[in-house]
Structure 1
Amino acid sequence: MTELNLTQREVADMSGLSQVTIHKLISGKVKGTTKILELSKALQCSPERLLYGIDPIKRDPVQNASYMGMLDAWDDSTTLGEDEVELPFYTEVQLAAGNGIIAVNENRGPKLRFSKSTLRNQKVDPLAAVCVKVAGNSMEPVLPNNTTVGIDTATKNIIDGKMYAINHDGMLRIKLLYKLPGNGIRVRSYNQDEYPDEIYPGDQAKVITVIGKIFWYSVLL
């Protein structure tokens, strides 16, 4: 916690964790994924800064809402600004037979608005972008349960270490992907304590279809 100019005792008092736990986290003796999330809330900084010593915007093009501009829920009665566009927001989704996403119910609920310039800067075509909710704890602490992510369905090429939405044999998953020799794929979660890497050689990797690249996520702590 040197970068924040705080002693281990001060960090323990702020977070409600014991000083022993703080020492173990700093020394790397325990990873404590759930504790990292608690600690980041107390220190009002991103979990990635604690895990990697760097903010998400510097580590990866995937950016938090504070860097992406305004995010708002709206309905058909809300007027869009000149620089705004609406994106479908699926709180419950299922995968189509192919490689797309369809809503369990008709998408008549709230949508999310983004500025056109923001999407243009990220090279995202609004017609190819959708937003969904993340379920589960496999991507904690970066993507806690119920985090909203934006998917660019026009970008399917795998760049090692980037985050993607995938159709894994009929299951929608948000994961870090890595290419392996022979057209294999390594699937990685942020929560490595509970979800170790999954290795799929060439033939086995055929059950995985890339839906699109994650271009944005929003976390409410």
Structure 2
Amino acid sequence: GGFFSAMRVTMALMALAHVQTLMVNGPHRVWADARPHVLRRARTPASPQMVGAVGTIAALPTLYALMSVNEYCTHRWYQHEEFNRDHAFQRFCQRVAFLFRRRPLFKLDGRRNLIKIWGGGHVEHHAETYDDMSLKKDPRWRRSKAAASLDSDLFRGTAFTWQTTGLMTVQMLPSTLPVFMLLGFSFMQTLAVLLPGMLVHALVWNMLHPPMHGLP
């Protein structure tokens, strides 16, 4: 009888110790520790996607072509302010402005309420330039509104500003991203080509154009 009593006491103590372990560590940790450890092979990061030979060769000519098209659009519709005229795209923008901001489509006199933008002084720059590329400086011109609008610009509308460069960069995204995707470029790889290209474009323009008009 004494032996079995001792066994029962021992088993009771072991059960009590097990319950205390469960209360402290939780059942999942106990059973997890009891499972054999399995060595797992560490995952190796995927190798970066490389652009093929065709994409690498075609990247710069393609970017140049896209920049030429977008520069034409920026020069015509923004810098020369042709956006301000009454055409289909202007009317589309008017309807969008009416839809989201309730901007009136027509003025009180019945004329269309055109959306006007300022082209950064480019039109005024043309008005200030003689055929030999020199700039007007006579008193009559200096008193004009166009000349006064250029006085705050050191380069008098001859340079690509950060605003114009940013506008053209955003404008290029809808055409550049899908075209470069077809060439095998990822999104980040496309930006790695586009952004330096836009910066070089602006720097080269600003190094050449203002000095042509005798500006620093």
- TM-score, normalized by the shorter chain, greater than 0.5: no
Name the structure, 1 or 2, with higher relative contact order (CA <8 Å, separation 6+): 2
- Quick check: which one's helix share is greater? 2
TM-score normalised to structure 1 length? 0.26
